[in-house]
Amino acid sequence: MGRLLTILFCSVLTATALDAQDPVFSQFFAAPMQVNPAFAGTTFAPRITVNYRNQWADYEGGYETYSVAYEQSLEDLNSGFGIVVLGDDAGNGIYNTTRFHGVYSYRIKINRTSAVRIGVEAGMIQSSLDWDQLIFLDQLDPITGASGGGGVPTPTEEQRPVNLNNTAVDIGAGLLFNSENAYAGLSLKHLNSPDESLLDINENLGAGLPLRITLHGGWQIPLIAGNNSRNSAFVSPNFLAVRQGEFAQINGGAYFGVGSFFGGAWYRHTINNADAAIALFGVRYGVFRFGYSFDLTLNSLTLGNTGGTHELSLTINFEDSKEAQRRRKTSRYNNCFKMFN
């Protein structure tokens, strides 16, 4: 375990120094402002989203990511705004990253069903390291492990850094086009390359977070028109491509909704290898939407080694209330965002 923690620590420092990357939710449609700030206010009424991701569940001290967001449209101003908080925990709290962003979008109407949205976000990234949880190689004894007689921890000669916390400003922007049946967007995050590093162990630490480029799109295909006697159904083929430094991935698949139930399947591929197959199932009840997805590892790590990745999402969309639906009908507002709502 000591070696594992040391390796994890070194990996965290290396990732922060050389090629840090953002967590990306498999249920990206349930965290739209994490994908593109231009999604802010795409619902007719307020929306709250909560996300949890447990990556490689069988690894003790793996990666957990949490996110909470609120967004609100301002129809009279053709605008939307939102607040997003994301926490990323590596190694049972050894290395933590917290991000807070305010988001604003402006809609340029093309016609009744089509629009272009421009989004911006600004906020803070805070990184922290719990030095006291680390176990270094010079603390390990072949017999007693990281402690001596009586369970007393073996001291280390590693020098404790002066600064174990860092806060940096972060800025991003995005563009989104939508019609009644299709959407496409481009997002640029970390435009100012914020420096979230903690230790000045080499000159690369000052390089900051690499620019994250996200290209995404999809279309909505109605299958059954809903009425008082039957549920509506639709399918939404879609893709998500992300590039950040030397890291890149592309997700391709489809989302399916019928009445109160929804599901989906995606395949994720990185630059060098197949990464995972993703399966989703969820249910709607009133203004609530709950989803569960599982990432089946396909690369050399294998499912037996990682335990896969579990993800939960909760969306509270007040657009699904009866009053909001009545107001929406009177506005004659149509778009292709059923998958996100």
Domain positions in the chain: 2-331
The SS3 call for residue 269 is strand
Q: What is the mean pLDDT of residues 267-288?
A: 91
Q: What is the mean pLDDT of residues 116-142?
A: 85
Give the model's confidence band at 6: pLDDT under 50 very low, under 70 low, under 90 confident, else very high: very low
Give the model's confidence band at 123: pLDDT under 50 very low, under 70 low, under 90 confident, else very high: very high
Give the model's confidence band at 58: pLDDT under 50 very low, under 70 low, under 90 confident, else very high: low
Q: What is the pLDDT of residue 196?
A: 78
Which residues, other chains included, contact 126 with Cβ-Cβ below 8 Å and sequence gap of 6+?
Answer: 97, 98, 99, 165, 166, 167
Whether residue 8 has pLDDT greater than 60: no
The fraction of the chain above a pLDDT of 70, given in percent, is 78
Tell me the C-alpha distance between 133 and 146, whole Å. 12
User: Which tokens hold the place of 319?
Assistant: 């657009």
Q: What is the pLDDT of residue 337?
A: 87
Protein fold of 2-331: Porin (2.40.160)
Whether residue 5 has pLDDT greater than 50: no
Q: What is the pLDDT of residue 189?
A: 97
> What is the per-residue pLDDT across 183-238, written as a single tens digit (0 to 9) for each?
999 999 999 999 877 765 544 445 688 999 999 999 999 998 766 556 789 999 99
Radius of gyration of the chain (CA): 22
Identity of the amino acid at 273 = N
User: Which tokens hold the place of 103?
Assistant: 């988001």
Q: What is the mean pLDDT of residues 262-269?
A: 96
Beta-bridge mates of residue 70: 48, 83
Q: How many CA atoms lie within 13 A of 226 on its CB side?
A: 8
Which residues, other chains included, contact 318 with Cβ-Cβ below 8 Å and sequence gap of 6+?
Answer: 43, 45, 46, 47, 287, 324
User: Which tokens hold the place of 2?
Assistant: 């000591």
Chain position carrying tokens 């009425």: 227
Give the model's confidence band at 9: pLDDT under 50 very low, under 70 low, under 90 confident, else very high: very low
